[in-house]
Each structure stands twice: as structure tokens, then as C-alpha cells.
């Protein structure tokens, strides 16, 4: 009896030790692992997601990013939509990401982001893929690995904001981003007026909460179309439900973004609407969203050059640990 009790105690201790090792390892990886190291110069990490596709996440991401850029912030965009990477085209980014070798003969492959015409750093699988006609048929764990690989292998440099354009839904890619990016500042939810979007978005918000990802705010896109001829307001997608959804899910409602007749032209040309039509109501709305983001994260101003310089020269810690022994 005593022997059995001793064995049980020993097994239990072993399990506790293994659990402790696992937690310590996770903490170390989160603070000192490859992704943490790659993002060490990025001050705020924010992901944009929705429950369903077609709500305008990508357009919202690039215009939010561009509005922040116009305010003087250093902005990068990670296009995490592996199967439908639209960020480069929407920003007119045609070049490919180039590889950088930190050490001659070193086997680590690192990439430099592509810089858009308007000063945004862009990382997307579209910028490395063999061709538009070649389908990206990655599955399951391969997608997750690739997202993590991009996060860790890119020279992000110094950024005030890294905006992550997520694919629709709450699947593996979204969960991977939420769990892999250390110190994720939060999530911005994009919805549209339709009831179906509100329903799916509510699930997405619940999923974010389950994964301990703070939801910073909810934006309702394509809320209303203002007729350019007579000024009549047309609710093309039904009555607005964004505010109601935000109230129900207890998240801040950041406001509505109107439909814009200029938007299609801007996306096709690869110019953010906030750049091409800065005085349009839709551009004003995006700037208001940017202000809401700054407010929610209590960001007072862009990083100064001195701060950026300091962050840029912060060494990668190959051997530094918060604790030496356990």
C-alpha cells in the first residue's frame, strides 16, 4: 500500500514537473522565441478579423494602416489570408519580397517586407508565390506553419503598428495568429449591416474571448450608400445592426464606414481611398477609426526617431533569459 502510494506520489510529482517545464518553455518561447525576436521592434500588434468573408477586411486594413501612416506612424501589414492574399494588389505592391542573409553561409532564410508607394511595409504570400495562376493548396498544419514562419522570418524592423489582415472565420489561421503573436494588442472586428454578418461576427468575438485576445472595437462597414447625385441615403445591405451587435457582445462600437463609389476604382488602382480621396466621407470615417484605435491603445504619438533608433539596435537575445535556473 505504502509502495503504491509512493509510486503515485512520484508520478504526480513527475507530471507536475513536466507541466511546469511546459509552462516555462511556453513563456520563454513567447518572450524570447523566433516570433518574439522578429517582432521586438513592433510596438503595437493588432489583428483585423470578421466572422465571414466579403465584409471589407482587407480594404479596411489597408485604409486604416494608410490613415495611421498619414498621421506619422510607422505601419506594417501582414496579409495572413493565405488562400486569397489581396493586400499587395490593393496597395499597388507588385514587387516580390527579397531574401536577406544575416550571415554568410547561414541557413536561416529571412525576408525583407516590400515597401508600398505610401510607406507601408507589406508581407504577403502573394509576394513570394510563383505566380497568380498557381493555386495555393496548403492544408491544415502547413498553413499554420507558414503563418508562423512568415512572422518569424521577416525583418519587420521598427514599427508603431503591425496590422494583421486575417482570413474570414475563426479557423486555424485566425487561432494561430491569436496564439502566436506575443503581446497582441487586440482585435478589430469588421461587420456589415446584414443579420447574417452580425450573427457570424458574434461567434468570432466569442472565439477571440476564448483565446484571450482582447476585442478593441467593432466597425460596421458598407453601412450606407449616399447617392452622389441627390444625396439620398440608401441602406443597400439593410438596417444597421453594428451598434446593436456591439452592445450585445459588450465591445466598443467604433462607428460606421459608408459605401463609397470610389472604392472599386481605388482597389483596382492599388491606391488607398484615404490617399486618393482624402476628403471623401469614407476617408474621414477611416481616419476616425484610426483615432479610435489610438485611443483604445492609449497611443499618444508616433515613435520618435530616437526611440526607433534605440529599438532598431536592440540586440537579438540569443542567450539572454529572464531567469537563469529553474
Partner 1 sequence: MSMSTITSDLTAGGSGQPSQEGEELNQQALAIGRRALNLLRYYGLEQISADELIAQLAELGAQSILARHWPLLAGNPAYAASFQVLQIVSTLEVEADYQIRTYGPDSLHEDFRELELAVGRLRRAIQSSALESARGSGGER
Rounded least distance, CB 173 to partner 1, Å: 14
Q: How far is CA 174 from CA 102, 151, 186, 209, 242, in A?
A: 30, 14, 13, 13, 22
Q: Sort strands 121-124 and 114-115 into parallel, antiparallel or unpaired.
A: antiparallel
259 secondary structure, DSSP code:
B
CA distance 296 to 41: 21
Rounded least distance, CB 104 to partner 1, Å: 11
> What would the x/- binding string for partner 1 be over residues 9 to 48, using CB under 8 A?
-------------------------x--------------
Kindly tell me which of 139 and 313 has the beta carbon lying closer to partner 1: 139
| CA 100 and chain centroid, separation | 24
Contact 63, 272 (CB under 8 A): yes
306 binds partner 1 (CB under 8 A): no
253 binds partner 1 (CB under 8 A): no
Among 20, 24, 109, 227, binds partner 1 (CB under 8 A): 109
Q: What is the torsional sign of CA 289, 246, 251, 185? A: negative
Kindly tell me which of 121 and 148 has the beta carbon lying closer to partner 1: 148
CA distance 122 to 126: 10
Q: Which residues pair with 110 in a beta bridge?
A: 100
Q: Sort strands 253-256 and 215-220 into parallel, antiparallel or unpaired.
A: parallel
CA distance 183 to 43: 9
139 binds partner 1 (CB under 8 A): yes
Kindly tell me which of 99 and 261 has the beta carbon lying closer to partner 1: 99
CA distance 237 to 195: 9
Stretch that binds partner 1, among 75-83, 122-130, 159-167, 185-193 (CB under 8 A): 122-130
149 binds partner 1 (CB under 8 A): yes
- Reading the block at residue 319, the C-alpha cell is 542567450
Q: How far is CA 79 from CA 58, 82, 87, 268, in A?
A: 8, 8, 6, 18
Rounded least distance, CB 5 to partner 1, Å: 32
> What would the x/- binding string for partner 1 be over residues 59 to 98, using CB under 8 A?
-------------------------------------xxx
Among 153, 257, 263, 308, binds partner 1 (CB under 8 A): 153
Stretch that binds partner 1, among 145-153, 182-190, 215-223, 308-316 (CB under 8 A): 145-153
Kindly tell me which of 133 and 300 has the beta carbon lying closer to partner 1: 133
Q: How many chain residues touch partner 1 (CB under 8 A)?
A: 27
154 secondary structure, DSSP code:
B
Rounded least distance, CB 102 to partner 1, Å: 11
Binding site for partner 1 (CB under 8 A): 34, 96-99, 101, 107-109, 128-131, 133-134, 138-142, 144-146, 148-149, 152-153
Amino acid at each position: 500500500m505504502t509502495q503504491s502510494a509512493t509510486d503515485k506520489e512520484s508520478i504526480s510529482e513527475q507530471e507536475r514537473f513536466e507541466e511546469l517545464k511546459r509552462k516555462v518553455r511556453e513563456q520563454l518561447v513567447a518572450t524570447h522565441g523566433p516570433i518574439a525576436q522578429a517582432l521586438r521592434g513592433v510596438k503595437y500588434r493588432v489583428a483585423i478579423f470578421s466572422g465571414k468573408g466579403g465584409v471589407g477586411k482587407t480594404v479596411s486594413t489597408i485604409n486604416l494602416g494608410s490613415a495611421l501612416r498619414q498621421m506619422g506612424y510607422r505601419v506594417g501589414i501582414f496579409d495572413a489570408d493565405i488562400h486569397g492574399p489581396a493586400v499587395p494588389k490593393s496597395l499597388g505592391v507588385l514587387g516580390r519580397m527579397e531574401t536577406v542573409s544575416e550571415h554568410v553561409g547561414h541557413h536561416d532564410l529571412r525576408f525583407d517586407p516590400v515597401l508600398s508607394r505610401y510607406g507601408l511595409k507589406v508581407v504577403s504570400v502573394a509576394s513570394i508565390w510563383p505566380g497568380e495562376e498557381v493555386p495555393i493548396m496548403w492544408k491544415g498544419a502547413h498553413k499554420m506553419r507558414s503563418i508562423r514562419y512568415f512572422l518569424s522570418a521577416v525583418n519587420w524592423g521598427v514599427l508603431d503598428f503591425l496590422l494583421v489582415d486575417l482570413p474570414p472565420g475563426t479557423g486555424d489561421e485566425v487561432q494561430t495568429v491569436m496564439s502566436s503573436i506575443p503581446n497582441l494588442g487586440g482585435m478589430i472586428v469588421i461587420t456589415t449591416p446584414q443579420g447574417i454578418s452580425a450573427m457570424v461576427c458574434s461567434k468570432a468575438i466569442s472565439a477571440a474571448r476564448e483565446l484571450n485576445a482582447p476585442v478593441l472595437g467593432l466597425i460596421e462597414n458598407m453601412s450606407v450608400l449616399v447617392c452622389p447625385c441627390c444625396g439620398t441615403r440608401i441602406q443597400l445591405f439593410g438596417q444597421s445592426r453594428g451598434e446593436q451587435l456591439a452592445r450585445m457582445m459588450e465591445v466598443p462600437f467604433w462607428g460606421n464606414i459608408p459605401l463609397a463609389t470610389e472604392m472599386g476604382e481605388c482597389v483596382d488602382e492599388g491606391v488607398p481611398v484615404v490617399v486618393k480621396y482624402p476628403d471623401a466621407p469614407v476617408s474621414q470615417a477611416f481616419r476616425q477609426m484610426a483615432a479610435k484605435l489610438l485611443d483604445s491603445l492609449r497611443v499618444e504619438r508616433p515613435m520618435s526617431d530616437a526611440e526607433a533608433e534605440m529599438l532598431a539596435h536592440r540586440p537579438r537575445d540569443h542567450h539572454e533569459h529572464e531567469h537563469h535556473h529553474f
